[in-house]
Amino acid sequence: MSAPTLAIVILGSGSLATARRIQQGYPQALIYGLAGRVEGADRVYQEFGATLRQLYQQDTPIIALCAAGIVIRTLAPLLLEKGAEPAVLAVAEDGSAVVPLLGGLSGVNDLARGIAAALEVAPAITTSGELRFGTCLLNPPGGYTLGDVELGKRFVSDLLAGEAVRIEGAAPWLDAAPLLRDEQARLAIHVGHAERSPTADELLIYPRNVLVALTAAGEGLAASVRVGLHEAGIAAQSLACLVAADHLMASSLLRDAARELGVPLRFMTHAGSALELAQGAVAAQALHSAGDLAIAVAARPLEPAHIGRPRGRLAVVGLGPGAAELMVPAVKAELARANDVLGYETYVRMAGPFRDDQVLHCTDNREEMQRARHAFELAAQGRSVVVVSSGDPGVFAMAAAVLEALHESTDPLWHSVDLDILPGVSASLATAAQAGAPLGHDFCVLSLSDNLKPWAIIEKRLDLAAEADLALAFYNPISRSRPWQLGRALEIVRTHRTGATPVVLGRDIGRPGQTLRVTTLGDLTPEQVDMRTMVLIGSSTTCTFPRAEGGEWVYTPRWYGVKH
């Protein structure tokens, strides 16, 4: 799963206020806090060096709130490796200094200026080209892209040596740059979307002002887009996005083509031709069309985020039992990218903290189907939606309700949503791990709630599972509206198991005030259990022995019947 778009790494709580001020300006950024030192970070890490190196290798821009020297020493072993380099900055803990360190071509100086503006200090820019020209010529603003970095570096050093330059095309961001301009100059900065062969005398900058509209998707789509652009004399670098008709939303060929071309994919409701789709998407200066593909060229760079809408996403995630360390990284990343978060209020709160731009939809625990349908309605609008469950979403939780809602729906937009189920650590597994390995052999998971199934079925399953000598995990063991069921369940189990059978009771596991209790089937009473408790009942082979630190280990051996 994807790394965040920006990581703010802090070593102590003293930096949290500064980190939050930076995050205000960059809401997509995640704050990484050192385990045991920082409370309230978005992510917890154990080891500073390993974390920083991993982020760097994942090409994630890094804002480290610590001494520049620490960052340099930490990343030094990686600096000789080739490949893309993310922006890396050191920011003083109190926000008084912003030092861009690495990633000149990844916009580190722009980032430094943005952070410095948020912190109301001056950034420590040291890049000579930037200081001289007031901008990095090799890092044009959003909406433009540089043709070739290596040729560009030579070009800039020629300029720094004092050569004059002429500008062809529109480069409004250079208007105020103190460049030595001369219409007769050998060197030219050329801005335009036409296909052009690179030369050492030209710095080619492409506006991203071209859109390709598609009404069908087949094999080799990226190649046909390239051919279409070439035939129209348009540089592929100027492609800003692909726009497709809604009915192609779930097409993997289209998705692969967009990835291959490195552009976003947007969708529009349209039944007509590709040409009409292109016209609808943008006020075009020029249009080229061939069958299922149409090209529109706009007067200015395009903002794909404002064209049509993206394919919506719906992720049903498991938060684990509660503790942040037990939440899988894919779920954390999903929560970070969410526009909307739906769930029972307790779990939504557990999934936080959230940013101001994220919309929370808290509902009652019992409104599962309604919540599932609401999630699809939001995702079908192109939003990124997360439905949260505690533990695992597939274990007596939202995943099945979401799939049932989809199964019942005939809305093609619902079926086009990018649906993903992300697992979590279920309460039975979290409880078992704390006790040892009571579920180390075959086991059976049951919900004792008769809200959604007849009690007779529960009795039958209990009886057969207990007879089959499976270890048992009871979810929803008891509640105020279901007071007698657990007692009856234990009676059934006792007809097949001895009173000495080990029992584990885990309450609020992974949450504040958690308790773990090891008892026996003979001593177990319903009063010891509430709806926040997980009940694990051993099989005939489950055994216990004392732990050095007090209490007992519980495990069910791997073998059964014959010990090898």
Q: What residues make contact with ligand SAH under the rule CB under 6 A?
A: 321-322, 389-392, 395-397, 426-427, 431, 475-477, 506-511, 531-534
Angstrom distance (rounded) from CA 75 to CA 73: 6
Helix (H, G, I), strand (E, B) or coil at 202: strand
Cβ–Cβ < 8 Å for 96, 123: no
Nearer to ligand SAH, 93 or 392 (CB): 392
Angstrom distance (rounded) from CA 441 to CA 445: 13
Q: Give the number of C-alpha atoms closer than 13 A to the C-alpha of residue 109, restricted to the C-beta side.
A: 18
Both tokens of 375, joined, read: 């999630």
- Which residue bears the tokens 């982020």? 55
Q: How far is the CB of 323 from ligand SAH (least distance, A)?
A: 9
Q: How far is the CB of 90 from ligand SAH (least distance, A)?
A: 40
Nearer to ligand SAH, 358 or 533 (CB): 533
- Which residue bears the tokens 């004399």? 233
Q: How far is the CB of 429 from ligand SAH (least distance, A)?
A: 8
Angstrom distance (rounded) from CA 152 to CA 138: 6
Name the phi and psi angles at 192, rounded to 5: 180, 160
Nearer to ligand SAH, 327 or 509 (CB): 509
Residue type, 320: G
Q: How far is the CB of 533 from ligand SAH (least distance, A)?
A: 6
Q: What are the beta bridge partners of residue 553?
A: 545
Helix (H, G, I), strand (E, B) or coil at 199: coil
On the question of a cis peptide bond just before residue 353, with omega within 30 degrees of 0, the verdict is yes
Q: How far is the CB of 510 from ligand SAH (least distance, A)?
A: 5
Q: How far is the CB of 318 from ligand SAH (least distance, A)?
A: 6
The closest of 441, 439, 430, 436 to 473, measured between CA atoms, is 439
What pairing do the DSSP bridges indicate for beta strands 98-102 and 88-91?
antiparallel
Nearer to ligand SAH, 387 or 509 (CB): 509
Angstrom distance (rounded) from CA 35 to CA 66: 16
Nearer to ligand SAH, 165 or 315 (CB): 315
Nearer to ligand SAH, 178 or 512 (CB): 512
The DSSP output letter for 44 is E
Nearer to ligand SAH, 205 or 427 (CB): 427
Q: What are the beta bridge partners of residue 385?
A: 314, 340
Shortest Cβ contact with ligand SAH: which residue?
Answer: 391
Where does residue 162 fall: left (phi above 0), alpha (psi -120 to 50 degrees), or beta otherwise?
left
Nearer to ligand SAH, 251 or 431 (CB): 431
Nearer to ligand SAH, 78 or 445 (CB): 445
DSSP letters for 118-164: HHTS-B----HHHHHHSS-TTSPPTTEEES-HHHHHHHHHHHHTT--
Q: How far is the CB of 431 from ligand SAH (least distance, A)?
A: 6
Nearer to ligand SAH, 308 or 321 (CB): 321
Q: How far is the CB of 507 from ligand SAH (least distance, A)?
A: 6
Nearer to ligand SAH, 15 or 476 (CB): 476
The closest of 372, 341, 507, 343 to 431, measured between CA atoms, is 507
Q: How far is the CB of 339 from ligand SAH (least distance, A)?
A: 24
Residue type, 562: V
Q: How far is the CB of 524 from ligand SAH (least distance, A)?
A: 15
